[in-house]
């Protein structure tokens, strides 16, 4: 795996985490 592949994977994980947090916050409100 190249550095670019790893970076893209990390970015996807961050985006997924943010979306999950957003969904949880909307659910709690």
| pLDDT tens per residue, range 1-29 | 899 999 999 999 999 999 999 999 999 98
Please name the helix (run of DSSP H) or strand (run of DSSP E) that holds residue 7, with its range, or none.
helix 3-28
Domain, as residue range, for 9: 1-29
Residue 7 has a pLDDT of 98
Residue 22 has a pLDDT of 97
Residue 17 backbone dihedrals phi, psi, to 5 degrees: -65, -45
Tally of domains within the chain: 1
């Amino acid at each position: 795996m190249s550095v670019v592949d790893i970076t893209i994977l990390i970015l996807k994980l961050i985006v997924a985490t943010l979306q999950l947090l957003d969904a949880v916050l909307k659910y709690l409100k």
